[in-house]
Structure formats: C-alpha cells, structure tokens
Amino acid sequence: MQHSNIFDYKKYRYFKLAVVMILLAFAAFLVFEPAVGHYGGSWLGYTLGTISAALVFWMAWYGIRKRRYRSSGTTQAWLSAHIYLGTALTFIATFHSGFNYGLNIHTVTYGLLLIVVVSGFFGNYAYMIYPRLMTENMGEDNLDGLLLRIAESDKMARQIALVMPDDINNTVMRACRETSIGIGLLEQLRGFQPDCPTAMAVEELTMLGQDLPADQRKLYRDLYSIMVRRESLVKRARQDLMYRARMGFWLYFHVPFAIALLMAMIAHVLAVFFYW
C-alpha cells in the first residue's frame, strides 16, 4: 500500500479547504460587483486583498518553518497546506485584482506572485516525477559508485589501448581525460552533452577497428565493449545529475521571487495608502 503523501495528506484535507476558499471567493466575486467593475479598492477587493496578503506571509513563513525541527505540526502537513493554499491564493489574488492590469506596482506584484506559484507548480511536478526516475536510473548505485566504475573501466581501456595503434590509443585517452559530467548549469539541466568525448570515442572506434591485424581483433572487441559500457555509465551519471539539478532548479525562481514578492507587496500596500 502506498503511503500518504503531501498531496493526499489526511484525505485531501487542504485540497478541500482550498476548493472551499476558491469557491467562496468566486461566489463573492460574482455576487458583489461594483458599478465600475471589480477592482482592488472595493470592500470585496480589500477583503480579498487582505486574505491574499495574509496567505502570502503565511506561505513565506513555511520557508522558515521547514528549517526548524521544533515547531507545531508535521512538515508534511505544512507542505500539503503550502501547496493547496498557495493555489487558492492565486485565485483569490486574481479576484482581488478584478482582472485590471497595467504598468504599475500592483501588476508587478501580481506578476511576481504568478512566477512564484508557477515555479512552485514545477517544484511539485519535479518532486512527483523525478524521485522515481532517479531510482530507475541509479538502482542501488550512487554517483560516487558510478564514477568509481567509470574510473575502473578507464584503467582497463587504457591498459588495452597501450598495445593498440596510436589513433585508437589517442581516442581512448581523450575519452578518459576529457569526459566531464555536469559542467555548467545548462549541461546539468538538459542531462546530456552534445559533443561528449566518450560517445565520440565509441563512434570513432567503430571506424578505426575495421582494418586491424587479426591478433588485435580480440583486444579491440574487449576495448570496444568497455568503451560502450563506459558511455552508458557516463549517461547514467549525467541523468542523475540532471534529475537532482531539476529538482533544485525551480527554487532558483521560487525563493528569490518570493522575497521580491514580499517587497513588492509592501510597496503595493504603501502605494495604495500613500495616494488615496
């Protein structure tokens, strides 16, 4: 039986709460429409805005809460609420805006909120999908184990290549010395390297092995299979790095934009009361 996770925590307690909040806000939005159309400064607008602001602060508090071991409630409960109420917050803030957008601090605040929420959704997706893929990719191994096996195959490949012609030796040498795993953010996020030296070496070896003397054929076959195995090991290592990078990358947006959102929200509220 599957354990309960952050999504169905306590039989979807926070999901239900979020749905009720969205429906209430939507009903109020439909029923109470000011003559000049919906806007943030009507009494309904102020109410929805205050709820949104409180929710934003509460969401931000999660960032502090999850780093503390001694506090009320399980982290699982908090995260479940964070996800569902964050979704509800998006709807409430949208009703608060009354769909009025322009080049001003108010829309900037709304845009930042959307960035934070959308990046949060990607985080959800990552945590739903990638852990399983990581296990599928790595099995019992870990990254260091993979690297150790790659190093071992390097040693064996070089040993064989020592007695092979120069071009084969050079190809193997280059593959061993130049293959890198996850250098740079882009490589980490896409999980493959278009001009990977190992993959190129395997390709070159296929060509180079064609006119070898008979006594080297067996050695060549051994070398080739070692390099092919090496290639798959490198691929798996890259995949592993990709999953881990993608699982953390959304936080590059979620966290800094959340901080920016807090500042923008302060500016948004100040602006409203500075110029009545």
Partner 1 sequence: MINCLLIKISHSTRGVLSRNYRTLTSEEISLGRGAECTIHLLDPRLAMHHAVIKRLDDGQLYLVAINGELAVDGVVQQHIELSHGKLISIGPYQLKVEPAPPDVDIAVSLLLLQRLPDDFQDLKLRTHEPLRGASSFKRRIALWMAAFIALVFIALPLAQNLIPSLNKTMAQLPLGFDRVWSPGHVSNAHLHFGSQCFNCHEKLTQQVKDQACVKCHQNTAAHIADPALQKRVFNSSGRLSDGMRCAECHREHKAPHPLAKQDNNNCVNCHADIKAVDAKSTLADVKDFDRSHPEFKLSFIREHHDQLGKTSLERIPQTNKTRLVEHSGLKFPHSQHVGLVQGPNGVMDIRELSCSNCHQGEGKEMRIQPIDFKRDCQLCHANQLQLGLGKQSFSVPHGDEETVMNALKVKAPKDQARYANSLKENGCAYCHEIQASHKDSSAPWRVKKVRISQDWFSKAQFNHASHRTQKCVACHQVEQSESSADVAMPDRKTCLRCHSGNSPKPKRIASSCMSCHAFHNAHLAQPK
| Residues that bind partner 1 in the complex, under the rule CB under 8 A | 34-37, 39-41, 100, 102-106, 108, 143-144, 147-148, 150-152, 154-155, 158, 161-163, 165-166, 169, 172-173, 176-177, 179-185, 188, 237, 241, 244-245, 248-249, 251-252, 255-260, 262-264, 266-268, 270-276
Distance CA 66, CA 82 (A): 11
Query: Residue 25 Cβ, how far from partner 1 at the closest point, in Å?
Result: 20
Buried-state track 181-214, b at ≥16 Cβ within 10 A, e below 16: bbeeeebbeebebeebbbbbbbebbeebbeebee
Query: Residue 139 Cβ, how far from partner 1 at the closest point, in Å?
Result: 19
Q: Which is nearer to partner 1, 229 or 244 (CB)?
A: 244
Tokens representing residue 85 in the block: 């109420």
Q: Which is nearer to partner 1, 15 or 49 (CB)?
A: 49
Q: Which is nearer to partner 1, 17 or 138 (CB)?
A: 138
Q: Which is nearer to partner 1, 16 or 155 (CB)?
A: 155
Contact 46/40 with Cβ under 8 angstroms? Answer: yes
Query: Residue 276 Cβ, how far from partner 1 at the closest point, in Å?
Result: 4
Q: Is the dihedral angle over the CA atoms 268, 58, 88, 75 positive or is it negative?
A: positive
Query: Residue 212 Cβ, how far from partner 1 at the closest point, in Å?
Result: 13
Distance CA 162, CA 114 (A): 59
Give 251: exposed, middle or buried? Use CB within 10 Å, 0-12, 13-18, 19+: middle
Q: Which is nearer to partner 1, 32 or 74 (CB)?
A: 32
